[in-house]
Structure 1
Amino acid sequence: MSRIIQKAACVGGGVIGGGWIARFLLNGIDVAVHDPHPEARRIVGEVLDNARHAYRAMMNAPLGPEGALTFHDDLAEAVADAEYIQESVPERLDLKHRVFAAIEAAARPDALIGSSTSGFKPSELQVGMAHPERLFVAHPFNPVYLVPLVEVVGSPVNDEAALSRAMEIQRETGLHPLRVRKEIDAHIGDRLLEAVWRESLWLVHDDVATTQEIDDVIRFSFGLRWAQMGLFETYRIAGGEAGMKHFIEQFGPALKWPWTKLMDVPEMTDDLATKIGDQSDAQSGMHSIRELERIRDDNLVGIYQALKANDWGAGKTLREMEDRFFERAKDSAAAAAPDYAAPLVLHETRVPGDWLDYNGHMTEYRYLQVFGDATDAFLGHIGMDAAYRAPGRSVYTVESHIRHLAETSVDTRLCVRTCVLGHDARRIRLHHEMVDEAGNVQATSEHMLMHVDTNAGKASPLEAPLTDRLARLSRGQRGLTAPAHAGRPIRDIGWPEPV
């Protein structure tokens, strides 16, 4: 699977910049970092640790090799050969202008430059640039390595082709780029957040609610709805069978009632700042920032997995991202030329918390999921990709046998060793062993695969490149002994005669 970008540069490695670095790296993109902060390497390293933990929990696909990470004291050196440059320095316009001037002086003429700014318009950032058409706003949301939205904002001078390419690169890393129609202060997301933030400040100021009570209202009620359906779709449902128009007719008059103070802002006095700080300490002070980040990430991963099951919202973005990782894993396996005289290791994974049953061990259907993913990895290895399936050719599993041999617990790292124990013109006979890090076999499975013509709805002969790769594989795998536990219907298929 070809990549549309090989190297990115990140100028700034704090909370947002570190998240960008992690997203690029974990998607296999090399990243050059410039950040003068004396603790930049430590901070980025800790963000990467959390990101790796989250990706291992979130992704069923093999993660594949990370990109190469380099740190550079000199900004010009960091950006010199990058195809995409992301600026994430503090929100000071004078500082950003100096940084952009330095980037322009050293970057490739075709390099794209995105700014993480949460408030400035691109036309403000572009002042003084020689080539303002390639600078745009790419505003992400924390944590950048997990939350998929990025607001892409251009000005009238921006090159639309450059913006389109930037969005292609962002999709390549699992982001969901949203093209903002007009440049506006604070873009879209932060303007919505600011409305809730201002009202929350008044509620704390007036002693109506504490910081924890406000957070509880959000996370136990509308926050759950917003996480998967947003605002307008949620209100459409609230309108019942009559839909959105009925909701507006019913609740529209409330817009004239004096419910909010959005046109008025409490003065951020020392007393109000202290009150908010003390309440926040009581609410969350028992956790370090890194612990809070890990808790946040685990919660987000659980939500994403639920949404992915319905191919909905951020879950759909995750599924598309996993598909890219699976394709890369297949390409890597195909290029590796493994030793066919030994079992193939084409799939690895880790047992996340939501795979456990009431006994605290991996639940039954997850074993089949792991073996199914290993079968998919094998089929990709022998050439069954999207192009092969396009005319209606595919492979169906018609028989499976699973043996459960151990109690597989949470966080166990698993690999699957795959043997081909025979094939004929239409069928492939597979055996998988699921093995933990210590080499202990957790489970085994046997599968009979049938090649089919999905348009005709019947079995059909295998075709190239599957036949060619199976022929090469046969020379090594035919020497492997079929396990004694293999079921008779599956054992009945042997190897074709050597050609």
Structure 2
Amino acid sequence: MEKTAAIIGGGVIGGGWAARFALNGWAVRVFDPDPQAERKIGEVMANARRSLPGLGNVALPDEGEISFHPTVAGAVEGAAWVQESVPERLDLKQKVYAEIMTHVGAETIVGSSTSGFKPSELQEGMPRAEQIVVTHPFNPVYLLPLVELVTTPINHDVLIARAKDILTTLGMFPLHLRKEIDAHIADRFLEAVWREALWLIKDGIATTEEIDNAIRYGFGLRWAQMGLFETYRVAGGEAGMRHFISQFGPALQWPWTKLMDVPELTDELIDMIADQSDAQSGRYSIRELERIRDANLVSKIRGLSRTDWGAGAIQRKHDRAIEAAAGLRRHVDEVEDLSQPILTARRAVPTEWLDYNGHMNESRYLEAFSNASDRFMLMVGCDEQYIANGGSYFTAETHIRHLGEAHAGAIITIHTRLIDGSGKKMHIFMEMRDDAGEVVATCEQVLLHVSLETRRTAPPAPQIEAALAKVAAAQAGLPMPEGLGRGVGAPR
């Protein structure tokens, strides 16, 4: 039962859930009567495999197996989590729940992807209704972290806590709504924007493309990393939110929008919207648009991760949660065998690291090795607090040898050998291998300990000297690595 998820309904959202679970190491059991379901989910999985591993800096767990089942009962049997993603018809959902609840275990969490129905509507008349919650995600489910967890008073605290924990282990952010409301939170915002957009098109103010440009080139990017209220707080300047409200609050009384009204969706208006959308995006297939979207989202979230902000902060937290299972440690005392080169990186190669030759760009080798040497610094005690107190290492010399190719999606590992850790110097040799075990590159690096106050070399703190001495003593019996001290251009 542990780490087995059942997906009931394998459309866009169900397929995204399948990918999110499977790529985080869960076995996934799918039920969907559509004869094309396996093909469609296979295509979604292909896109997810291409994009999701590149979100983080730690390789995901081994992918879970996806199986397809002809009945709801067969799919949900033994599942720890059931995710319902059938069409938005309450009668259909209740019919499906009647069957689900007959066959699931007493500890199974049953979540609904519904974007509008309240959990009380789904629970009504169901046996063990306290196991049913709303877990409303956003497309693509395998990339976007937000999931609205909506509960009712009959959902007990233990189940809610377990649901939050499972969603968090999937790299998601469960936003818990303790009071249910139609369309939850996020879709109410989307509905407001959608209504206003329909009026702008009907009144001839803007086309579909112009409306999308207003969002993607402006406030959409801003909202992605700071939300609504924090954005407006910043807009208030040094005086903050109170000043913003006093300055812009009166605008709420002005007739800027038609949010309380919506044009009738006549055939004429539907044709106008569809024609404009075709003109805007019709040259791309849906799969091409998905790949473009995924690449953009990966790049944005990775960018936000560098500043530990917004969705990037969720990803960094997810990385930290799985790094120990990947064999990465945070101090040399945690390493089981110091007599061998130490694992200092295990990650997937993201698409943004590729160059025009279709393999990893040489600057990204340096980035990967730099991150690995940063982890080694962390492991010997040169952590954020130590650096904040004025001590650090500066790189004095780096020599990278490119011995093979690394391609998008490849899992690369870097092991670090300490050659000399005496005095102010830290001399290390790193070896990068691909997922086939082949050596892709090596990096020899000399770093010097400095005082950040004087910006000059200085002896490291005693605890760092001790950690380096411990590693050096443990690795003293290793033969010198091939390529050590090799000059540029020297024969291999």
For residue 457 of structure 2, what is the aligned residue in structure 1?
A: none
Task: Please name the residue that 1:497 is paired with.
Answer: none
Instruction: Write the deviation string for residues 338-387 of structure 1: whole angstroms up to 9, x where unpaired.
Output: 9x999989635315326769xx97364x434312444578899xxx699x
Q: Is the 8 A contact 2:7 2:84 kept in 1?
A: yes
- In structure 2, give the amino acid aligned to 1:202: W
Separation in 2, partners of 1:282, 1:397: 55
Q: Which whole-Å CA distance do the structure 2 matches of 1:13 and 1:442 have between them?
A: 42
The 1:458/1:77 distance shift into structure 2, 3 A limit, reads same
Q: Could you tell me which amino acid in structure 1 is paired with residue 94 of structure 2?
A: H
Contact 1:27 1:66 in 2 (8 A): yes
The residue number in structure 2 matching 1:493 is none
Distance 1:461-1:331 versus aligned 2 partners, 3 A rule: closer
1:282 alignment counterpart: 279
Aligned letter for 2:70?
A: D
Aligned partner of 2:15 among 14, 18, 28: 18
- Shift of the 314–449 alpha-carbon distance from structure 1 to 2, 3 Å rule, reads same
Partner of 1:230: 227
Write the distance in 1 (CA, Å) between the matches of 2:313 and 2:220. 19
In 1, the alpha carbon distance for the partners of 2:419 and 2:321 equals 30
- Checking the alignment, whether the CA contact within 8 Å between 2:419 and 2:428 is kept in structure 1 is yes
| Count of matched residue positions in the alignment of Structure 1 and Structure 2 | 466
Please name the residue that 1:459 is paired with. Answer: 464
Q: For 1:108 and 1:235, locate their aligned partners in 2 and report how far apart those are by CA, in whole Å.
A: 46
1:86, distance to aligned residue in structure 2 (A) = 0.9
Q: Which residue of 2 aligns with 1:105?
A: 102
Q: CA deviation at 1:5?
A: 4.7
Deviation at 1:326, TM superposition (A): 2.0
1:431 is aligned to 429
Whether the aligned pair in 2 keeps the contact of 1:446 and 1:486 (CA below 8 Å) is no
TM-score w.r.t. the length of structure 1 is: 0.81
1:161 has 2:149 as partner:
no
Structure 1 pair 425/400, CA: closer, same or farther in 2 (3 Å)?
Answer: closer
Q: Report the Cα offset of residue 188 of structure 1.
A: 0.3
Question: Identity of counterpart residues, as a percentage?
Answer: 47
Partner of 1:195: 192
Structure 2 unaligned segments of length 5 or more: list them. Answer: 330-335, 450-459, 488-492
Shift of 1:458: 3.8
Q: Comparing 110-119 with 428-437, which one deviates more in the overlay?
A: 428-437
Detail structure 1 runs of 4+ shifted over 6 Å in the superposition. 340-346, 376-380, 395-400, 407-410, 423-429, 447-450
State TM-score, norm by structure 2: 0.82
Tell me, yes or no, if the aligned pair for 1:308 and 1:315 is still in contact at 8 Å. Answer: yes
Give the direction of change, closer, same or farther, for the CA distance of 1:271–1:441 in structure 2 (3 Å limit).
same
Counterpart for residue 349 of structure 1 = 348
How far, CA to CA, are the matches of 2:45 and 2:211 in structure 1? 31
Counterpart of 1:309 (choices 306, 311, 319) is 306
1:35-93 CA distances to partner (integer Å, 9 max, x unpaired)?
Answer: 11111111111111111111233222122311121111121121111111111111111
When structure 1 is superposed on structure 2, of 240-249 and 308-317 the one drifting more is 240-249
Cα distance in 2 for partners of 1:414, 1:18 equals: 24
Return the alpha-carbon distance in structure 2 between the equivalents of residues 412 and 98 of structure 1: 41
C-alpha spacing 1:428/1:36, structure 2 compared with 1 (3 Å): farther
Match 1:151 to one of 135, 148, 168: 148
Match of 1:492 in 2: none
Shift of 1:128: 1.1
Q: For residue 19 of structure 2, give the secondary structure of its aligned residue in structure 1.
A: helix
Question: What's the secondary structure of 2:326's corresponding residue?
Answer: helix
Shift of 1:396: 8.1
CA displacement at 1:328 relative to structure 2: 2.1
Partners of 2:360 and 2:407 in 1: how far apart? 7
* Maintained 8 Å contact 1:362/1:410: no
Whole-Å separation in 2 of the counterparts to 1:259 and 1:448? 60
Match of 1:95 in 2: 92
How far apart in 2 are the matches of 1:409 and 1:482?
Answer: 21
CA gap of 1:412–1:131, structure 2 versus 1, over 3 A, is closer
**Structure 2 counterpart SS, 1:33:** strand
User: Structure 1 residues 165 and 240 mapped into 2: Cα distance closer, same or farther (>3 Å)?
Assistant: same
SS at match of 1:162: helix
Match of residue 71 from structure 1: 68
SS at match of 2:82: strand
Partner residue in 1 for 2:369: 371
Q: Which runs of 5+ in 1 are unaligned?
A: 489-499
Residues 136-172 of structure 1: CA deviation (Å, up to 9, x unaligned): 1000111111110011111122212211110110000
Q: Give the match's secondary structure for 1:96.
A: helix
Instruction: Quote the Cα distance in structure 2 between the aligned partners of 1:110 and 1:470.
Output: 51
Structure-to-structure mapping, 1:408-427, within 5 angstroms: 411=408, 413=410, 415-416=412-413, 418=415, 420=417
2:39 corresponds in structure 1 to 42
CA distance, structure 1, for counterparts of residue 65 and residue 374 of structure 2: 28
Q: Offset at 1:256? A: 1.4
Residues 114 and 138 in structure 1, CA contact (< 8 A), matched pair in contact too: yes
The answer for the alignment partner of 1:52 in structure 2 is 49
- Please, what is the CA RMSD of the aligned residues? 4.1
Counterparts of 2:341 and 2:276, CA distance in 1: 60
CA separation of 1:478/1:64 partners in 2, compared to 1, >3 Å: closer, same or farther?
farther
2:186 is the alignment partner of 1:181: no
Q: Are 1:171 and 2:176 counterparts?
A: no
SS at match of 2:367: helix
Deviates more, 1:224-233 or 1:194-203: 224-233
**Cα distance between partner residues in 1 of 2:482 and 2:132:** 61
Q: Displacement of 1:440 after TM fit?
A: 7.1
